[in-house]
Amino acid sequence: MAKVKTTFFCQSCGNQYAKWQGQCTACKQWNTIVEEVIQKQDKSGWKLPTSTTKRVSKPLLIKEIDSAKEARLDTFDGEFNRVLGGGIVPGSLILLGGEPGIGKSTLLLQISLKLPYKTLYVSGEESQKQIKMRAERINPENDNCYILTETKTQNIFKQIEVLEPDIVIIDSIQTLHSDYIESSSGSISQIKECTTELIKFAKETATPVLLIGHITKDGNIAGPKILEHMVDTVLQFEGDRNHVFRILRAHKNRFGSTNELGIYEMQGSGLREVSNPSEILISKKDEELSGNVIAATLEGMRPLMIEVQALVSTAVYGTPQRSATGFNAKRLNMLLAVLEKRAGFRLAAKDVFLNITGGITVDDPAIDLAVVAAILSSNEDVALQKDFCFAAEVGLSGEIRPVQRAEQRILEAEKLGFSTIFVSKYNKISLKKTAIKIQLISKIEDLIEFVI
């Protein structure tokens, strides 16, 4: 038995100190440093079975390394595959974070029930009967998913040796604890030790491991920041409890793009994949209303048509309000300043409210033109035609700037039945004989002629 060692960790950022101090020098938080036991026994968590011979790696010239594309495991979930970059890479560690009750456990349980591979679902938060009740609601027919309720990593690895699963799902990493660390579950040292053991297991056996992670009140994944550095992929499951839609994003992905987006609809039978989100994000209405405009945006490689709503009214109090939901408030102020300076609209004494429908957040500058059109429409109380859409960036001098992949946006708008799309005349467009009219404009004054 080795001597017990302790050290001090910041519970906010995970920084390590040799002794206690009042303020963390890394994150500047006060009274967040606590003492934790970091060593109890001189043992490692995961070991290959004695019958398995481990090969010792040796250095290779980069040109000698086999560059053949490794086959990914299909999750049979199109949205999940898209965000991961085509499926799960063998031996990878994937961390999924999100708000409590957003549907993290439901998503991974639903995927595990679809898989034809032998899957081990380890839960430290629910009993087997509770998981069974949820599974019957999602997909009662499955012969490959095994449920284990356990929190000690040593016991989990014993069951893994017996079962030899193709995929392991852990719900959640904050509930696990190792006998080799004497602190409580969820502490900095326990999370680091348990993750290290799982990484060693995943890399040595080429078995992918999916982890569910809790988040803090700031929206960051609970535990040390190093946790996000240790894993291969960090996914964020987002959404508003008041909306039925859930959005899956990749914040880090060693095996694919971080620009892709997956959209789900929460139903009583689980999460339904939304293959064409444009039809859902655009509200169905019979009459034309002022302040409602459709924008053509991109999330990764996927084009989306979203609805932008604006409301401009006279300020009741001395200071006008500027409120944006799903859009950068500073960029809204910039566009209002451009309208005031370049187009002569007096908006300084008016309240301006902007909303991106569907509960999603968009940072694509291509929706600038739609935001300006919605503000002008609401200010003049003039409704735009329902079959107009916009895709262009607005510069500080009032010029309409080109955006990337304009042709892809145009084709998506044409597919959804729009009659006219407004884009910058500086975009190089090679499309011929399109059913949709491509209206080219160069400055904000050109837009005003169509809006008012």
**Where is the binding site for ATP, in residues?**
98-105
Of the candidates 308, 258, 278, which has an alpha carbon nearest to the alpha carbon of residue 409? 278
Burial class (CB in 10 A: 0-12, 13-18, 19+), 226: middle
Q: Which helix (H) or strand (E) holds 298?
A: strand 292-299
The sheet with strand 420-424 has its strands ordered as 322-325, 350-356, 302-314, 292-299, 388-391, 420-424, 437-441
Of the candidates 186, 151, 144, which has an alpha carbon nearest to the alpha carbon of residue 171? 151
Q: Which residues are annotated as a binding site?
A: 98-105
Q: Is 255 helix (H, G, I), strand (E, B) or coil?
A: coil
What angle is formed at CA 117 by the lines to CA 114 and CA 120, rounded to 5 degrees?
A: 85
Integer Cα distance of 110 and 324 in angstroms: 35
* Residue 207 Cα to chain centre, angstroms: 24
Q: Where are the beta strands (DSSP E) in 69-208?
A: 93-98, 119-123, 145-149, 167-171
Sign of CA dihedral 46, 52, 55, 56: positive
Query: How many residues does the structure list for the chain?
Result: 452
Of the candidates 217, 242, 253, 182, which has an alpha carbon nearest to the alpha carbon of residue 29? 217
**CB-based contacts of 415, cutoff 8 Å, min separation 6:** none
